């Protein structure tokens, strides 16, 4: 028996785990008390790491389709088939004939951070989709417009703030998102213990809302109106205090004009909040010595997602809290390049191209996931004929899964990099399964950039690759070679090319620590046993902390790089070199928000919102007995008044009807729901044939996204509306 350290890849909190290894298997997981960031915190998902890792339904080797059925194959057979099928398709129908779809776990793997950008470049397709357009794309667009960089996302300084205003987030169940903070619940309690307060805005009385000092049960979809009224109040009551930010901000007076009609009184009906409560919220925010406004999924996947996300940071700016300790700061990850010199940047462009069928503008190079089905179905030049999915299950995670399910069935060719045969990957012609996390190294390229403390931790693989296994980095590298006409070249060629390209730029960059040096000489200094390790080493060396892979290896519990620090104006890449507080695309979307002032949901409909459960993660953890026991979780939560009015009985089935279809789910009556709102979680609906999810199939649940037809989205970001959409509910007979 031995112990090994491993960063948990199961949510954004990135806790350090101590794993027990026995007879070549992981048998137990505990929180690593010496981890410099998570200090021993663990949740039930992390504790179930051994079961997640050892799930017998995980695929053990590649599958290829032959005569309509998937069969086991060798890695060579699998990549030979990809090379033989993809190039001819591209040559005949053009680059856009292949679509790339990236799912959530790519941000939780080394492979997912290092290779998809290269794969996208190799494919050269505009048909690029990801989980971002069912999640946080509004934040990227907002940051792109405000700061010129879609990845410049400020996070609340949880450890030091005096006041937190949190919208559409439930970190007691999700453990936080775009705010990497192991033990988020503990940090909220510590905030209160030091005399601070926090407010939760959520139509449900969540566990987080119950802990909060104030809970505002807003009407779903109304966050942007509420936030606009807070901005209005700051101006009206002379509470705007830019402080040191003043010299970096443009557009304050235009903004003031734009929010003129969004008074607390005018938004009160649409938000269903008392105008005095809105004013009090604004005053509290302004009065706090330091404060941060933070919004997540429930304020992102809504009709006015980009405007809401923009207003969150507008409030951080107007209260002088952006970029100051205790406010909302820009983290600086260990592999982020050294800051550039202040001054005008390239800016952020939206809508550089549009989707073929519906003309949806691109955002950050992506098209809306909700538009994928029509791009496969609709004949004509540029039609999607082949799909590559990596760690994605859009049949359950995107609107109208039945339509996408049917569309995937018509493809000429499909490849999935995924450990499971699930609702999406069952359509693939080739499935390339990565090894379980215990056999993969880990580094949080993405989440370090959203962490509440700057730090760096590296976990080498805790177990050697099992027989017939291929590291996920090698899978990605071989896939890139297979689709780019370099099939058969060594996978190291991909890493070598990535290093050469990066260093060529770095030596020419005056801000880089390797400026002016010979790239060959820098390359020779890189250490690491594998291509991805050398790339990590390179990125650490190009970062600001002078770190190397050796330094990380010598500190198995991590290296603390200190609290977040002010980074303005270095992070700004807008054309003006300043914070553009009222950007043109936002201005153009304001009339839509004005129209919402008078919009109140139809009396005979309910509004549906989602929710998350601590023991689950999107669609892919319903196959783990340790995480799925107990009562049914895929229930429709209903307020007692609505249940009485509609004749719904707890424990009995309800019929839910939406624009995209109908479902039946068990009713759960709870005071925690806002009247007029019902909640059904996502990621369920594991009842399709041809999957290999034996545990999940026993209690399949229903796919909430079938209630949507895919037509509702936030126009600026292409993000699907998954919260606050209309449904009809009745007893099922
Ligand atoms: N246990 C667990 N953890 C997870 C995940 C999981 O599935 N399970 N998923 C991970 C992923 S991919 C993500 S993105 C994060 C998400 O993390 P969070 O953003 O914290 O997501 P949720 O827990 O879904 O909380 C969203 C809240 O928004 C509320 N809401 C719905 N509509 C509205 C609205 O219009 N306005 C407001 N103000 N609130 C609204 C919902 O009631 C819900 O409580 O969690 C991650 N962590
Ligand atoms: N109605 C509604 N819909 C939602 C949401 C909601 O709140 N409400 N939330 C949305 C959000 S925030 C998100 S992020 C999306 C998620 O949408 P997706 O990313 O499409 O869904 P996941 O369930 O996270 O699927 C992850 C896939 O990755 C695979 N996987 C797991 N580990 C690995 C690995 O190490 N390597 C590889 N290659 N694959 C792996 C799993 O088997 C699974 O197939 O769902 C969105 N959909
Ligand atoms: S909070 Fe997230 S990272 Fe931490 S143990 Fe749980 S699932 Fe893993
Ligand atoms: Mo997500």
Q: Could you give the residue range(s) of every CATH 3.40.228.10 domain in the chain?
A: 137-337+569-593
680 alpha carbon, closest ligand: 2
C-beta of 169 in contact with ligand 1 (< 6 A): yes
Q: Name the residue among 706, 604, 608 with its Cα closest to residue 663.
A: 706
Confidence of residue 37 (pLDDT cuts 50, 70, 90): very high
The region that residue 519 occupies, defined by phi over 0 for left and psi between -120 and 50 for alpha, beta otherwise, is: alpha
Question: Chain-wide mean pLDDT for the chain?
Answer: 97
The whole-model pTM stands at 0.98
Distance (Å, rounded) from C-alpha 39 to C-alpha 548? 23
Q: Are 132 and 362 in contact (CB under 8 A)?
A: no
- Cβ(167) – ligand 1 distance below 6 Å: yes
Q: How far is CA 431 from CA 73, 108, 131, 568, in A?
A: 10, 20, 20, 45
Can you name the CATH fold of 2-53? Phosphorylase Kinase; domain 1 (3.30.200)
For the chain, give the longest Cα–Cα distance: 75
Q: Is the CB of 682 under 6 A from ligand 2?
A: yes
The candidate with the shortest Cα–Cα distance to 298, out of 188, 199, 398, 224, is 224
State the DSSP string of 370-420.
GGHHHHHHS-STT---EEEEES--HHHHSS-HHHHHHHHTT-SEEEEE-SS
Cα–ligand 1 centroid distance for 293 (angstroms) = 16
Cα 381 to Cα 617: distance, rounded to the nearest angstrom: 38
So what's the pLDDT on residue 600?
78
- Distance (angstroms) between ligand 4 centre and the Cα of 419 equals 19
Q: How far is CA 369 from CA 283, 380, 434, 450, in A?
A: 39, 20, 24, 24
Task: Give the angle 178-179-185 at the CA atoms, nearest 5°.
Answer: 130
Determine contact, residues 141/717, Cβ cutoff 8 Å. Answer: yes
State the average pLDDT over residues 609-629: 95
Q: Which CATH number fits domain 63-125+368-442+458-554: 3.40.630.10, 3.40.50.800, 3.40.50.740, 3.10.20.740?
A: 3.40.50.740
118 lines ligand 3 (CB under 6 A): no
What average pLDDT does the segment 240-265 reach? 97
Distance from the alpha carbon of residue 171 to the mean position of ligand 1, in angstroms: 8
Place of tokens 């005096």: 162
CATH 3.40.50.740 intervals, the chain: 63-125+368-442+458-554
With a 6 Å cutoff on the Cβ, whether 10 touches ligand 3 is yes
CA 673 / ligand 1 centre spacing (Å): 15
Q: What is the pLDDT of residues 299-335, one digit of tens each?
A: 999 999 999 999 999 999 999 999 999 999 999 999 9
> Which residue matches tokens 């509440």?
452
Of all atoms in ligand 3, which is nearest to the CA of residue 175? 1
C-alpha of residue 168 to centroid of ligand 1, in Å: 6
Which two tokens mark 474? 């090698």
Nearest ligand 3 atom to alpha carbon 43:
6
- Protein residue with least CA distance to atom 2, ligand 3: 11
Query: Comparing C-alpha atoms, which of 65, 115, 101, 56 is closest to residue 85?
Result: 65
| Residue whose CB lies within 8 A of the most ligand 2 atoms, among 99, 388, 419, 422, for a mutation test | 419
Ligand 1 lined by 170 (C-beta under 6 Å): yes
338 by DSSP, 3-state: which?
coil
Q: Which ligand has an atom closest to residue 30 CA?
A: 3
Compute, in angstroms, the gap from residue 73 CA to the centroid of ligand 3: 34
Task: Write down how long the chain is.
Answer: 733
Q: Report the pLDDT value the prediction gives residue 724, as an integer from 0 to 100.
A: 97
Q: Could you tell me if the CB of 11 is within 6 A of ligand 1?
A: yes
Ligand nearest to the backbone CA of 131: 2
Token look-up 């499971």 returns 420
Ligand 4 is a single-atom ion; what residues have CB below 5 A from it? 135
Q: Which atom of ligand 1 is nearest to the CA of 618?
A: 7
Q: How confident is the model at residue 342 (pLDDT cuts 50, 70, 90)?
A: confident
CA atoms within 13 A on the CB side of 186: 11
Q: What confidence tier does 338 reach under pLDDT thresholds 50, 70, 90?
A: confident
Q: Whose CA is nearest to atom 8 of ligand 1?
A: 617
Give the end-to-end CA distance of the chain in Å, rounded to a whole number: 56
- Written as six digits, the tokens of 14 are 């990135």
Q: Which CATH number is associated with domain 601-731?
A: 2.40.40.20
- Atom number in ligand 1 closest to CA 302: 35
Tokens representing 506? 């770095």
Structure tokens at 689: 């044939």
Say if residues 595 and 370 touch (Cβ distance below 8 Å): no
The tens digit of pLDDT for each residue in 512-547 reads 999 999 999 999 999 999 999 999 999 999 999 999
Is the CB of 648 inside a 6 Å radius of any atom of ligand 1? no
**Architecture of the CATH domain 137-337+569-593:** 3-Layer(aba) Sandwich (3.40)
DSSP for 622-668? TT-HHHH-SS---EEEE-HHHHHHHT--TTSEEEEEETTEEEEEEEE
Considering only CA atoms, which of 485, 489, 594, 581 is closest in space to residue 143? 581
**Which single residue is written with the structure tokens 């449900």?**
204
8 lines ligand 3 (CB under 6 A): yes
CATH 2.40.40.20 placement within the chain = 601-731
State the CB neighbour count (10 A cutoff) for residue 25. Answer: 13
CATH 3.30.200.210 in the chain is located at 2-53
CA distance 255 to 266: 18
CA of 107 from ligand 4 middle (Å) equals: 10
Ligand with minimal distance to 10 CA: 3
pLDDT, one tens digit per residue, over 102-121 is: 999 999 999 999 999 999 99
CB 123, CB 132: distance < 8 Å: no
Element (DSSP H or E) covering residue 636:
strand 635-638
Helix 305-318 and helix 584-596: axis angle, to 10°?
A: 110
Answer whether 181 contacts ligand 3 (Cβ < 6 A): no
């Amino acid at each position: 028996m031995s112990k090994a350290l491993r960063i948990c890849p199961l949510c954004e909190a990135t806790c350090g785990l101590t794993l027990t290894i026995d007879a070549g298997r992981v048998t137990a997981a505990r929180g690593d008390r010496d981890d410099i960031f998570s200090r021993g915190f663990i949740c039930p998902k992390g504790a179930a790491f051994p079961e997640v890792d050892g799930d017998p339904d995980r695929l053990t080797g590649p599958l290829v389709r032959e005569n309509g059925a998937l069969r086991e194959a060798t890695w060579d057979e699998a990549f030979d088939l990809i090379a033989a099928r993809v190039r001819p398709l591209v040559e005949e129908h053009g680059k856009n004939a292949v679509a790339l779809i990236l799912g959530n776990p790519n941000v939780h793997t080394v492979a997912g951070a290092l290779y998809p950008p290269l794969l996208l470049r190799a494919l050269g397709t505009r048909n690029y989709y990801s989980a971002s357009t069912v999640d946080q794309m509004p934040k990227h667009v907002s940051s792109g417009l405000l700061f010129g960089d879609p990845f410049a996302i400020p996070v609340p300084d949880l450890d030091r703030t005096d006041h937190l205003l949190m919208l559409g987030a439930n970190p007691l169940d999700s453990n936080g998102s775009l705010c990497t903070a192991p033990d988020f619940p503990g940090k909220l309690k510590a905030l209160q213990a030091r005399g601070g307060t926090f407010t939760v805005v959520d139509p449900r009385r969540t566990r987080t809302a119950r802990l909060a000092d104030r809970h505002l049960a807003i009407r779903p979809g109304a966050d942007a109106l509420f936030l606009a009224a807070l901005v209005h109040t700051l101006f009206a009551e002379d509470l705007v205090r830019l402080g040191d930010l003043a010299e970096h901000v443009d557009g304050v007076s235009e903004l003031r004009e734009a929010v003129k009609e969004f008074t607390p009184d005018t938004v009160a009906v649409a938000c269903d909040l008392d105008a005095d409560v809105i004013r009090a919220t604004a005053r509290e925010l302004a009065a706090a010595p330091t404060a941060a406004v933070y919004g997540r999924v429930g304020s992102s996947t809504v009709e006015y997602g980009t405007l809401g996300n923009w207003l969150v940071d507008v409030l951080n700016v107007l209260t002088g809290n952006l970029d100051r300790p205790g406010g909302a700061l820009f983290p600086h990850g260990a592999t982020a390049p050294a800051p550039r010199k202040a001054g005008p940047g390239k800016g952020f462009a939206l809508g550089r191209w549009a989707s073929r069928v519906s003309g949806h503008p691109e955002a950050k190079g992506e098209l809306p996931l909700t538009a994928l089905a029509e791009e496969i179905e609709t004949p004509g030049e540029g039609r999607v004929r082949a799909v590559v999915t990596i760690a994605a299950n859009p049949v359950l995670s995107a609107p109208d899964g039945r339509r996408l399910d049917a569309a995937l069935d018509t493809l000429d060719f499909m490849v999935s990099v995924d450990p499971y045969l699930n609702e999406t990957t069952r359509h693939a012609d080739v499935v390339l399964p990565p090894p379980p996390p215990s056999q993969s190294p880990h580094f949080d390229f993405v989440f370090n950039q959203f962490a509440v403390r700057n730090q760096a931790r590296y976990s080498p693989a805790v177990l050697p690759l099992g027989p017939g296994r291929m590291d996920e980095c090698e899978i990605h590298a071989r896939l890139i070679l297979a689709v780019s006409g370099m099939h058969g070249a060594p996978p190291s060629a991909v890493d070598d090319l990535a290093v050469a390209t990066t260093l060529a730029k770095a030596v020419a960059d005056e801000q880089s620590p390797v400026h002016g040096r010979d790239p060959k000489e820098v390359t020779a200094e890189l250490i690491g046993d594998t291509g991805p390790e050398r790339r990590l080493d390179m990125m650490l060396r190009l970062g600001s902390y002078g770190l190397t892979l050796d330094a990380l290896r010598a500190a198995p519990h991590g290296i603390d790089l200190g609290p977040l620090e002010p980074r303005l104006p270095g992070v700004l890449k807008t054309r003006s070199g300043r914070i553009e507080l009222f950007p043109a695309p936002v201005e153009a979307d304001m009339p839509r928000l004005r129209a919402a002032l008078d919009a109140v949901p139809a009396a005979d409909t309910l509004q549906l919102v989602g929710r998350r459960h601590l023991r689950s993660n999107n669609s892919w953890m319903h196959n783990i007995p340790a995480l799925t026991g107990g009562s049914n979780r895929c229930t429709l939560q209903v307020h007692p008044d609505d249940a009485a009015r509609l004749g719904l009985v707890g424990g009995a089935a309800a019929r839910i009807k939406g624009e995209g279809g109908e479902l039946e789910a068990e009713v759960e009556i709870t005071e925690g729901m806002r009247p007029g709102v019902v909640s059904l979680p996502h990621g369920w609906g594991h009842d399709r044939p041809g999957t290999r999810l034996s545990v999940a199939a026993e209690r399949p649940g229903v796919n909430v996204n079938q209630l949507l037809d895919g037509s509702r989205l936030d126009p600026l970001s292409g993000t699907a509306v998954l919260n606050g959409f209309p449904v009809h509910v009745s007893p099922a007979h």
